[in-house]
Amino acid sequence: MASEQRANLKPLSLHVPEPKFRPGDEVDFSDIEVPAADAAKRPDVGAHPDTFHELSYGLVRVLDENDRAVGQWNPRLDADVLRRMLRNMAMTRAFDERMFRAQRQGKTSFYMKSTGEEAVAVGAAMALASDDMCFPSYRQQGILITRNYPMIEMMNQIYSNKGDKLQGKQLPIMYSSKEDGFFSISGNLATQYPQAVGWAMASAAKGDTRIAATWCGEGSTAEGDFHSACTFASVYRAPVILNVVNNQWAISSFSGFAGAEATTFAARAIGYGIAGLRVDGNDALAVYAATLWAAERARTNQGPTLIEHFTYRAEGHSTSDDPTGYRSAQEYSNWPLGDPVTRLKNHLIALGEWDEERQEAMDKECADLVRKTQKDAEKNGILGHGLHQPLDTLFEGVYEEMPWHLREQQQQMMAEEEASGRPWARK
């Protein structure tokens, strides 16, 4: 019902954010401010949370336009570590390429690439201790690759085959590895955030020295769990690193729908009393340095850090998504922070520790390893081709012990399958 118009006031209007570029548009990112690589100051790890205003609105960067590592955040990694970092990122990319193709070939139902965001996962994983607990979202496969989780296990999970440790119970890419400090991925967004804080609180309460780290996309920061987690993390000074991967897109919604028109995601930390860092997410050294800083802060009982990784989702949201329907195809090629793999490669070349031939050889080695592993994984079966888990495992693990009603349903299902004569009845 319209109320009486007030003659002296203009009618209100609702602001609905709109991304700058839609399909077919020319892309101009000149308004994105990219500070000089040595601009950001590196504070003491014990700095009070109210001193992070500049770091929350600025951008921690290490690699400059001449591919040199500069500034206070330069982690001064030696060439072997840099090469390992580059290889982890290249391997993540090769894995993504291969698994995306496997989905297109009908070998599995679903896949999600992390192209353009490899530095966020690999850089962080290399800065954490191997027994620190990660609570990832679905786009940090680089953590598992960095932690040397067997690639065949990742593929078995993607194929839901008889080798799948998760018994075919989870959608592809929802990995879990307790041994490797990689918490079971959930489809429900941001739920891992308070869980990571709880894990960190438990570690602190038990006098442990391990810390937790969690990741969500910028879109997921709109969930209530994000707020709960930041509140808990701040209140109890939990030893946790809260990573926000701002890749500009939440499926088809640009970051403005999560609040990016008005502020940065790192700046959310200010209101919670958490140290906030905004980092060039395509600069593996900046991600590494920021994570190392936050880990030290957490490990010395000085509380949580929220890190926004400013990056760009180079590919579609998933194999079920076509980004040409909502954004300009030029966006990624014009992205001002470039490509994380290329930037790290160029840095190593600039150091005289790498060259294009070695890069080519390494890329081929990664692709070959992925292909060979894929062949091995496919011996365990691909989705829907019979080499699945025994049917009755469907009922296992709902509870520690199977209650009567599940036992009954299990028996009923098995009897039905036996009677059906269908191939499924073969256990």
Partner 1 sequence: MNMIQAVNSAMDVMMARDDNVVVMGEDVGYFGGVFRATAGLQNKYGKQRVFDTPITECGIIGVAVGMGAYGLRPVPEIQFADYIYPALDQLVSEAARLRYRSAGEFTAPITVRSPFGGGIFGGQTHSQSPESIFAHVSGLKTVIPSTPYDAKGLLISAIEDNDPVLFFEPKRIYNGPFDGHWDGPSKNWSKHPGGEVPTGYYRIPLGKANTVREGQDVTILAYGTMVHVCQNVVKETGVDAEIVDLRSIVPVDIEAIEESVKKTGRCMIVHEATRTMGFGAELSALVQERCFYHLEAPVTRVTGFDTPYPHSLEWAYFPGPVRIGEALKNIMKDA
- Beta carbon of residue 379, minimum distance to partner 1 (angstroms, whole number): 21
Burial class (CB in 10 A: 0-12, 13-18, 19+), 293: buried
Longest dimension (CA), the chain: 79
Candidate segments 30-38, 202-210, 242-250, 297-305, binder of partner 1 by CB under 8 A = 202-210
Q: Which of 233, 230, 220, 217 is nearest to 310 (CA)?
A: 217
- Beta carbon of residue 11, minimum distance to partner 1 (angstroms, whole number): 36
Q: Is 109 a residue that touches partner 1 (CB under 8 A)? A: no
Q: Which of 167, 235, 172, 177 is nearest to 201 (CA)?
A: 235
Q: Is 380 a residue that touches partner 1 (CB under 8 A)? A: no
Task: Indicate the residue type of 317.
Answer: H
Q: Is 269 a residue that touches partner 1 (CB under 8 A)? A: no
- Beta carbon of residue 155, minimum distance to partner 1 (angstroms, whole number): 16
Phi-psi region of 397 (alpha: psi -120 to 50; beta: other; left: phi over 0): left
Q: Which of 87, 171, 70 is nearest to 125 (CA)?
A: 87
* 355 vs 416 by CB, closer to partner 1: 416
Q: Which of 167, 253, 318, 330 binds partner 1 (CB under 8 A)?
A: 167
Q: Which of 156, 185, 233 is nearest to 388 (CA)?
A: 156
Q: Is 169 a residue that touches partner 1 (CB under 8 A)? A: yes
Sign of CA dihedral 328, 329, 331, 334: negative
Candidate segments 32-40, 293-301, 333-341, 396-404, binder of partner 1 by CB under 8 A = 396-404
Q: Is 197 a residue that touches partner 1 (CB under 8 A)? A: yes
Candidate segments 89-97, 230-238, 261-269, 287-295, binder of partner 1 by CB under 8 A = 230-238
- Pair of tokens at residue 98: 């291969």
- Pair of tokens at residue 399: 């509870």
Q: Which of 7, 188, 352, 423 binds partner 1 (CB under 8 A)?
A: 188
Rounded to whole angstroms, how far apart are CA atoms 418 and 114?
A: 43
- Pair of tokens at residue 148: 């040397």
- Pair of tokens at residue 94: 């090769």
Q: Which of 165, 371, 375, 379 binds partner 1 (CB under 8 A)?
A: 165
Q: Is 149 a residue that touches partner 1 (CB under 8 A)? A: no
Q: Which of 21, 100, 193, 215 binds partner 1 (CB under 8 A)?
A: 193
- Beta carbon of residue 264, minimum distance to partner 1 (angstroms, whole number): 23
Q: Which of 127, 96, 99 is nearest to 113 (CA)?
A: 96
Q: Is 383 a residue that touches partner 1 (CB under 8 A)? A: no
- Beta carbon of residue 200, minimum distance to partner 1 (angstroms, whole number): 8
H/E segment holding residue 157 = helix 151-159
- Beta carbon of residue 387, minimum distance to partner 1 (angstroms, whole number): 17
Task: Indicate the residue type of 33.
Answer: E
Rounded to whole angstroms, how far apart are CA atoms 132 and 239?
A: 10
Beta-carbon count within 10 A of 322 CB: 10
Q: Is 176 a residue that touches partner 1 (CB under 8 A)? A: yes
Q: Is 91 a residue that touches partner 1 (CB under 8 A)? A: no
Q: Is 201 a residue that touches partner 1 (CB under 8 A)? A: yes
* 106 vs 224 by CB, closer to partner 1: 224
Burial class (CB in 10 A: 0-12, 13-18, 19+), 181: buried
Q: Which of 203, 248, 282, 374 binds partner 1 (CB under 8 A)?
A: 203
Map the footprint of partner 1 across residues 116-135, applying CB under 8 A: 133, 135
Q: Is 74 a residue that touches partner 1 (CB under 8 A)? A: no
Q: Is 191 a residue that touches partner 1 (CB under 8 A)? A: yes
At a CB cut-off of 8 Å and minimum separation 6, what does 357 contact? none
- Beta carbon of residue 169, minimum distance to partner 1 (angstroms, whole number): 6
CA distances (Å), 238 to each of 197, 230, 303, in order?
6, 10, 5
* 226 vs 310 by CB, closer to partner 1: 226
Q: Is 229 a residue that touches partner 1 (CB under 8 A)? A: yes
Residues at the interface with partner 1 (CB under 8 A)? 133, 135, 165-167, 169-170, 174, 176-178, 183-184, 186-188, 191, 193-203, 205-206, 212, 224-225, 227-229, 231-232, 235, 396-400, 403-405
